[in-house]
A = this chain, B = another copy of it.
Amino acid sequence: MSVQITPGSAGDIDDDTKRMAMVCWSNDLDRVWPTMILATTGAASGMEVDVFFTFWGLRVLQRNDKRITGTNWMQRGESLVDPGGTNRLKLGKINYGGAGTRMIKKLAKDYKVADPGELMEMAMDMGVRMYPCQMTMDLYGFKRDDFIDGLEPSMGAASFLDMAADADITFFI
């Protein structure tokens, strides 16, 4: 499939460059991990990679030194029960009050698998583009300085679908 250069997309992509567009919808450790492994692997293979962080996934972009976000009590309450930041991600199953998550992280370390926080930094260094979802930001009351550095500007679903329509691989994770 030939990559179509649409207005607004990078002008230096030639016809043979493959593209991947992913939705990071979740802040479960077991979903963020494969998302970032696919992102870094794709970039290492020469792909253009775009990741759109939306719904629960927006919390992945939260700074680890930021514990509470939002401006009203509902938003602040949500941030308390659904912690953000790559250091606080929990397994979506067999979490066992954190013991399962700690064990999987220990296993990963023993086998030299980078953790999601490290993978996100690698991804940004490799040119992976990460976009916060503007609608979710509004819902959560997120401000720009609640986020880690290095992200692309926030955008809406329409902009993401534009990218996805020109991608060779599309995943909702």
A-to-B contact residues, CB < 8 Å: 1-2, 18, 20, 23, 25, 30-31, 33-34, 37-38, 41-42, 44-45, 47, 54-56, 74-75, 77-78, 81-82, 93-94, 96, 100, 103-104, 106-108, 111, 113, 135, 138-139, 156-158, 161-162, 164-173
Contacts and interface: CB of A to CB of B under 8 A. Distances in A.
5 contacts: A25-B173, A33-B55, A45-B158, A82-B94, A172-B172
A24 B172 CA distance: 11
Given A41-B156, A47-B165, 5 more contacts: A30-B55, A37-B157, A45-B158, A111-B139, A164-B169
A115 to B, nearest CB: 13
Copies in the complex: 3
B23 A34 contact: yes
Main secondary structure of the interface of A (DSSP, over half): helix
Contacts of A30: 55-56
Contacts of A38: 157, 161
Contacts of A169: 161, 164-165, 167, 170
Contact of A158 (B1, B41, B156): B41
A94 B28 CA distance: 13
Given A55-B30, A81-B94, A41 B161 contact: yes
